[in-house]
Amino acid sequence: MIFKKKKQPIIDLFDDNFVDIHSHLLPGIDDGAKSINNSIELIQKMHSFGIKNFITTPHVLGDLYPNSTETIKEKLLIIQKELANRGMNDVAIRASAEYMMDEQFSDRLEAGDILPLKDNLILVEMSYFNAPLNLYDILFEIQLKGYKPILAHPERYNFYHQEFANYYKLKKAGCLFQLNILSLTDHYGKGVRKISEKLLNLGMYDFVGTDTHHIGHLILLEKINNSKADRAKLLELFNKNNFFI
């Protein structure tokens, strides 16, 4: 008789030292949580998975989400006070940002208006349509200013899927990679799933994040069990996030 291997939910990989370094939990600041109650709802659901440590990362994106260090910290204080009021004292939440690498970002970098995740690490992204023409200049500029770029969800940039060598080029240019957990499903498309599994199995990811925007993301996250991703490599990757505790 052949016994099927028991499926293990991916949320079992979260432990007390795991820090989610990519989420959109601050109320009314981008396309994430819409209100303080919505923020708390998301945090409570994630807490039920075992996630107690957050560095939430609102978008900083041109005129669409022109968030600054000051406005992000103001929203962070609101949510920290609400968590305390509700007695959720075992939740630790800090804030950084997810910076779109555009012209305004270069201006912010020059002005020093940057919120690192920790030490000199900053989370950056680019358009899903194409990379900036001066991408490698921007990456050089980031490092010249003393920061280290973590590229959010590199698997979601479809324009690299048929030119995989670009991922090696990005790593050589000093980019760290952050996996979106939901990329291990078909949520963003089968192509994204395939590339995410390849990057993971090649050991090219440095960190992982949920990129939570709404409750639908968490419902899907809760359902993930076995994927083609190597479980041991997943555990190793999740443990890397303990650096941010």
CA 83 – CA 87 distance, rounded (Å): 6
Query: What residue segments make up the domains of the chain, in order of their start?
Result: 10-244
- Name the pLDDT band for 135 (thresholds 50, 70, 90): very high
pLDDT at residue 210 greater than cutoff 70: yes
| Mean pLDDT, all residues of the chain | 95
Sign of the CA dihedral running 197, 200, 206, 212: positive
Q: Which of 96, 6, 83 is nearest to 46 (CA)?
A: 83
Do the Cβ atoms of 143 and 101 come closer than 8 Å?
A: no
Question: How much is the pLDDT for 8?
Answer: 85
Q: What percent of the chain is predicted at pLDDT more than 70? A: 96
- Cα-based angle 144, 150, 151 (whole degrees, multiple of 5): 110
pLDDT at residue 109 greater than cutoff 50: yes
What's the chain's Rg over C-alpha atoms?
18
Mean pLDDT along residues 214-234: 88
Question: How much is the pLDDT for 236?
Answer: 96
- CA contacts within 13 A on the Cβ side of 178: 25
Rounded to two decimals, what is the model's pTM?
A: 0.96
pLDDT single digits (tens) 88-105 = 999 999 999 999 999 999
CA 205 – CA 105 distance, rounded (Å): 24
- Name the pLDDT band for 225 (thresholds 50, 70, 90): confident
Do the Cβ atoms of 35 and 75 come closer than 8 Å?
A: no
Question: How much is the pLDDT for 6?
Answer: 63
**Contacts of 164 by beta carbon, 8 Å cutoff, 6+ apart:** 195, 198
Residue 151 φ then ψ, to 5°? -80, 120
CA 122 – CA 174 distance, rounded (Å): 12
User: 183 forms bridges with which residues in the sheet?
Assistant: none
pLDDT single digits (tens) 236-245 = 999 999 999 9
pLDDT single digits (tens) 20-73 = 999 999 999 999 999 999 999 999 999 999 999 999 999 999 999 999 999 999
Question: How much is the pLDDT for 27?
Answer: 98
Topology given in CATH for the domain delimited by 10-244: TIM Barrel (3.20.20)
